[in-house]
Amino acid sequence: MSIDGRWEIVLSSPIGEQKGALEIKTDGAGFTGSMVQDGMTLEIADGRIDGDKISWSVKVTSPMKLTLKSTATVSGDTMTGKAKPGIMPGMSFTGTRVS
């Protein structure tokens, strides 16, 4: 299963839907890339692939410092998952591959 490419993401947060993007490049059982959210580009760390499940984290510095940990299930050109910002509750998201 390939997850490479650019993905448009819609995160359901307490303040409403937040749009962002992921750029993913696989490397064996892992992946690297970046996440763009609210005009910030964040480097993906710990990108892992396990069948149709993926996980990664990014370090957020604004408006507060925290680690955002995400997990998702990928099916073709779509993904659904959860993002957990630090100690706060998790938020669901969907993604669509656009290239």
Contacts with 83 (C-beta within 8 Å, 6 or more apart), sequence order: 11, 68, 69, 70, 90, 91, 92, 93
Query: What pTM was computed for the model?
Result: 0.90
pLDDT given for residue 93 in this prediction: 97
d(CA 63, CA 6): 25
Of 22, 17, 18, the residue nearest 7 (C-alpha): 22
Return the higher-pLDDT residue of 14 and 47. 47
Confidence of residue 97 (pLDDT cuts 50, 70, 90): very high
Confidence of residue 16 (pLDDT cuts 50, 70, 90): confident
d(CA 7, CA 90): 20
pLDDT given for residue 62 in this prediction: 80
Domain 5-97 belongs to what topology? Lipocalin (2.40.128)
